[in-house]
Chains A and B, each alone.
Chain A
Amino acid sequence: MNFIRKAVKPAELLIIAGKTKRVTVKYPFEKPILSPEFRGSIEINHEKCIGCGACVNACPPNALEFVESSDKRTLRYNIGRCIFCWRCIDVCPVNAITGTRNFELATNDPLDLYSYIVHSKTKCTSCSKTGETVKMRKYIMQRSPVTENYINNCPDCRREKFINALSVRKVGFVAK
């Protein structure tokens, strides 16, 4: 008896098959089931982003990168490299990045994979070198109650001016 039961055991698969409904779906006509926690591609809010670069530093596969030019700093997002880890969302100080549940990202035109946010850079009033983005400076000024005199200078000029000012105050002239 046992022998027979064992022999027909494989046929029980048919019962299981009968019980379970079809699990595949007619994608793309039917959508696959996504859990509420699913991490998809990200969206960066042009208005909010200040071009601080926190996300660029955190992004593991360099999907977010700065492309620099003389007076512009462009934040470039490359979906092709993105691993959808949402680390950038964690680190963005102004919550400019939101995660979407979008995963259908294939495209015929490779250029579609990129999105850009262009920031203009600040110019040092003394030496006309460019520095951080304009928005970033504004952000710093809003956050720190004391607005520095040298905010419009690049870090180099700022240091120099500060030292000069100090030495003027201490010894009365600019030390060479």
Chain B
Amino acid sequence: MLMDRNHIIQEYISLAKSLNGNVTIDNDTLHIIIPKESLVEIADKLFNKYQCDFRTCIGVDERPVNGYFSMTYVFTDNRNSLYLLIKTYIDSLNPSTPSIMKVVPAVDWCEMEARDLLGIEFTDREQYKLVLPPGWPDNVYPLRKEVPYNYRPLLRGTSEKISPSTELGVIPIGPYHPALHEPEYFELYVEGERVIDVKYRGFHVHRGIEKLAETRMTYQQVNFLAERICGICGFEHSTCYALAVEKAAKLDVPERAQYIRSIILEVERIHSHLLWLGVAFHVVGYDAGFMHMWRIREKIMYLAELLTGSRKTYGINLIGGVRKDINEDKKQKTLETLRELEKEFRELIEIAINVPQVKKRLSGTGLLPKEDAVKFSVEGPVARASGVNKDARRDQPYAAYKYTSFKVPVYTEGDNMARALVRINEIFESISIIEQLLDKIPRGPIMLEDFDIPEGKIGVQVVEAPRGGDVHFVITGHGKPYRWRVRAPTYNNIPALKIMLKDQPLADAPLTIASIDPCFSCTDRILVIRENGKREWLRITTGV
């Protein structure tokens, strides 16, 4: 559907108008306010007819401002670099709105999250508790503005029984399991060694990040918190947050800062993909490949430290620019490191991919057909391995990506091998992107001096993290965000695991789980209670 951008914008506007909607255009973002009766229809049109990408939905407590709750659904039109924010106001006394799950299946989790955290009821769908722990008091919705961020109800520890199944073997994977490294729970129903069904229970490690940012941090402090959403791709999150706020406040960030952001983003992508390859090799028992992959990765970690001051959680992003410049010396060092890295990586990956067990176990396992990939709105390498051609770096150009040219690897096989190949190709592309950026980087300041952030503005940004698109949505407030919503890519990818795991050998289950490069703690970000339900703080002086 190649259409002139203005033409398609007109089309969206007339679509919204025909449904009693109200449209404002703000650069690349279309804010569409729609009565809740037309919600399903517009979502259906956007998702199924215009093939927009569904990213996430956001519930906001706007009662202190205008007396309503609101739900915002973020769609992106990837071909035309457009963000479409479909917003509907919901009465605050009896908050309820029709669910769009029938037309957009990927909305499942984020609607349930809004229900748990804001108390918005969704009609026409099955509702369940997703985020809050069992035993959480009714009628306490943590993201409502009147609930203090440090509210801690007394919870008693409860246990969930593995569903008693007589005919099938049940293999629990998690919450603590050597293949996962993070608390998450899969229940695999097996017949012999074949997985025939999967149950997933997540959200064990809510950290209350959104609430924290909305209550007791300042704009600039949130950058550092955002960076800690994920231990692997934190910089994407802090960039995404900064870009969203900058977009909302219409700040003109110096070009040089944007270049540096892009460079560091690619450094992070390389290290993350190398890490993933290492983990994948470890999962298929090829430990030598794992060790050597991480040995190579060490070079990029050192590079990251040289460029930012820290191996991980770089801490150089601020709203308005970056904190650390790249001088000539570092530039040379970077280019040198990248050349070495490329050579060693090429050598090693060729060997590793030819190890018979690696080849056999990656190919043809963890299949995700394209239809399902679209249905679940999966992100990143998972999408690209299933033939969905999307990459926010190209589709929603941010930072300095518009000045570079790169290929977006897309495979149609949809198996674990395809996901590995996407990542391998992306490493080479990233190396080339960094080289291009370093070559073109303009002179100038790296930080915007003196700026204001007006209140009540909305900014939304997608940043392509190694695992897929991060979505950050910000409503600006007084000295801090009024609402900050984060959607990590794994949030969309996990539901697709059900399809990928089914009818596969048990032995490949960890590999398939690993193949989406899951990052559970990014997916769960919301709450305040420790898993055992006790309300203890870790006190440094006394211990627990």
Contacts and interface: CB of A to CB of B under 8 A. Distances in A.
B347 A84 contact: no
A110 B217 CA distance: 26
Nearest to B313: A83
Contact of B298 (A23, A59, A111): A23
A38 B310 contact: yes
A9 B310 contact: no
A20 B295 contact: yes
Contacts of A113: 540
Interface residues of A, number: 32
A9 B217 contact: no
A91 to B, nearest CB: 10
Contact of B224 (A16, A20, A83): A83
A37 B305 contact: yes
Nearest to A78: B540
B15 interface: no
Interface string B292-323: 10010010001001111110010100000001
Contacts of A117: none
Interface in B163-191: none
B192 interface: no
Interface string B207-247: 00000000001101101110010000000000000000000
A6 B305 contact: no
B540 A35 contact: no
Q: Is the interface of B mostly helix, strand, loop or mixed?
A: helix
A78 to B, nearest CB: 7
B350 interface: yes
B292 A80 contact: no
Contacts of A36: 306
B305 A61 contact: no
A55 B295 CA distance: 38
A36 B323 CA distance: 16
A85 B324 CA distance: 12
A28 interface: no
B220 A58 contact: yes
Contacts of B223: 60
B541 interface: yes
Interface of A: 6, 9-10, 12-13, 16-17, 20, 23, 33-39, 57-61, 78, 80, 83-87, 90, 110-111, 113
Cβ-closest 6 pairs across A and B: A60-B224, A9-B354, A85-B315, A39-B309, A60-B221, A35-B306
Interface of B: 217-218, 220-221, 223-225, 228, 288-289, 292, 295, 298, 302, 305-310, 313, 315, 323-324, 347-348, 350-352, 354-356, 540-541
